[in-house]
Amino acid sequence: MINLTEQVLAITQASAITATEVVQSLWSGYGQIKRCHLKGGKYPSVIVKHIQGPNKSHHPRGWNTTISDERKRKSYQVEQHWYETLAKQTNKHCRVPNILKSVELDSEILLIMEDLDASGYRIRLQHGGVSLNQVKACLSWLAQFHAQFMQTEGEGLWPIGTYWHLDTRPDEWNRMTNNKLKKAAKAIDGQLNSARFQTLVHGDAKLANFCFKSSGEVAAVDFQYVGRGCGIKDVAYFISSCLDDEECGKHEEELLKHYFKTLQQALNNDAVFQEVKKEWAELYAYAWADFYRFLDGWGPGHWKMHGYSEQLTQRVLDELKERKK
């Protein structure tokens, strides 16, 4: 068993952990994220993500399968690899917590990281309580991230990023009730995966995984499903996480315009950008349909399965049907 106290004190050069608080429990009982307050040393506090495979997982929706367990265990190994390697290539425009140390022993992983609260990123937002400017700030983060890792191979990460990727969700696919979408799932997945321009996608870029400064700057956490992919998947998923049906339709044009404008600036190559924009803009509806497919099997009736997402999904189904003629 990994000695958390010993590891934290060694890397931070603190003399003692004065208090420990649980920030959150990991999904399905796989461990905890803790904040350790320190005496002396380099940091006032650190975040410790302690992954311990459960003897029996307790998924809130009942997805306690071997496939689910293997996927989660791999996700933590991917996150560890991300922080140890590619995370250092991010910049101030796509800020992530600095990794201080990672330790792996048997089925345990310990990630000791910078406490973003101590660095000023104290604000957390929830669906229904986010402004349009804050949505744009997160889309700017995504654009900068996608530009930074454009055409990166992402060795050691998920070959195809996002936690809802079709090949990793056979159980959910089997439970789908929308038969037309079920039959089209592989074609939708194929369109996204065959995109010429691939980058690294965060893979779980929901509002809850962004941390805000009072100045409006943002940082992102939780890189369990980072991997290769078409960047527009992150964009669609993020928008789904913070806007409701009516807001999605109302602000779609404005938000996509903002994302692509930031991407253009970050890429600093207009010829390449124009090609990326053309391809990814056409795949926006496919990204929504792909996530809708997951929800149909995983959580029928989920609040994100609203009119806007249904409309985009149907548009994709109609387009695929036309191509077969």
The pLDDT-based confidence of 55 (bands split at 50, 70, 90) is: low
Contact present, 137 and 259 (Cβ < 8 Å): no
Strand bridging mode 210-212 / 199-201: unpaired
Domain boundaries, the chain: 4-114, 132-324
Q: Which helix (H) or strand (E) holds 12?
A: helix 4-12
**Which option is the CATH number for 4-114: 3.40.1190.20, 3.30.365.10, 3.30.70.1450, 3.30.200.20?**
3.30.200.20
Question: Which of 112, 108, 79 minimizes the C-alpha distance to 225?
Answer: 79
User: What class is the 132-324 domain?
Assistant: alpha beta
The pLDDT-based confidence of 106 (bands split at 50, 70, 90) is: confident
The two three-digit tokens of residue 234, written as one number: 């992150």
The pLDDT-based confidence of 69 (bands split at 50, 70, 90) is: confident
Q: Whole-model pTM?
A: 0.95
DSSP category for residue 164 = T
Does residue 58 carry a pLDDT above 70? no
pLDDT mean across residues, the chain: 94
Question: Which of 57, 92, 90, 88 minimizes the C-alpha distance to 71?
Answer: 57
95-105: pLDDT as tens digits: 999 999 999 98
The arithmetic mean of pLDDT across residues 157-186, rounded, is: 97
Q: How far apart are the first and last CA of the chain?
A: 60
The C-alpha atoms of residue 240 and residue 185 are separated, in whole angstroms, by: 19
Rg of the chain in Å (alpha carbons): 20
The pLDDT-based confidence of 128 (bands split at 50, 70, 90) is: confident
